[in-house]
Amino acid sequence: MSSCDSCNDSSCSVKQPNAANDEQAQIQRNLAIRLCGIKNKLIVMSGKGGVGKSTTAVNLAYALVEKGFKVGLLDIDLHGPSVPTMCGLSGEHPQMDEEGILPMVVSGLKLMSIGFLLQSTNQATIMRGPMKHGAIMQLLADVNWGELDYLLIDCPPGTGDEPLSAVQLLGKNAAAVVVTTPQDVALVDVEKSLSFCNELKLPVVGLIENMSGFICPHCNKVSDIFKSGGGDKLAEKTGVAMLAKVPLDPRVVAAGDDGKPHILSCPDSKCSEALRQAADAVVAFDGV
């Protein structure tokens, strides 16, 4: 029995509705509604930074768009969002209607990022722990994604708050793609990402080995700048599929800086071919 059960004062704080709880319940309802319209959720992860994860996420999303799917991409790298720049939307802000925040749309891909919601491109995002979870929940719940075949989630590197929140919030029909490079220092951290997925029972579609050989812009010959074969060895060791090996091409970097995703600006390149191969594997995956 509550200590206020016998209180006849209608203004008693115990008897007042909890506004915070009501708001949280509404967010949860909105989240459930949004996720009902999304068939497949794909979390793009990496063990460490600098492996080209965001570049891979953007181009993989466009490879799926090319196949005729309805695709969205959510950038949850709260402290260093890259998607606005890579898609030519730096400094842009989304519109709203009665259904929520409208995602930005570029060449058929729906996009949302914390970067679109900041006042300026150089504004720092200062948050931790529960605040991050709440921000990611609201990005999922408040954005009117509509009907999607795939929603890709571009996570920051590592196995911290953001990927954990993504897994917890997305629920069923979610899986992961893990991006690496051939060096041992990257592969060690990829194993941690795979362990993370295993602990949370998140199916893994497979690995994408980025920067897998350098394509000479003059002769188109591929040379191994880093070690080769590291991704294959890890795939064999862990039983996780190798989806594609994306070579190192200077045009990929230039495309990201220019806001023109590589698969759109250089559709016939070996990198684009590899990314389409990865998209084929995603479509064929039935482990969720």
As annotated, the binding site includes: 47-54
Nearest-angstrom CA–CA distance, 51 and 60: 15
Q: Give the separation between CA 112 and CA 74, rounded to whole angstroms.
A: 5
- Please tell me the distance from the alpha carbon of residue 154 to that of residue 111, in angstroms, as a whole number: 11
Side chain identity at residue 254, one-letter code: A
**Nearest to 43, CA basis, from 131, 190, 192, 151:** 151
Backbone angles phi and psi of 152, in degrees to 5:
-95, 135
Q: Whole-angstrom Cα distance, residue 171 to residue 150?
A: 14
> Do the Cβ atoms of 168 and 199 come closer than 8 Å?
no
What is the full DSSP assignment across 224-283? Answer: -SS-SSHHHHHHHHHT--EEEEEEE-HHHHHHHHHT--HHHHSTTSHHHHHHHHHHHHHH
Question: How many CA atoms are closer than 13 Å to the CA of 21, on its beta-carbon side?
Answer: 3
- Determine the Cα angle at 136 with ends 111 and 157, to 5°: 80
Question: Could you tell me which residues are annotated as the binding site for ATP?
Answer: 47-54
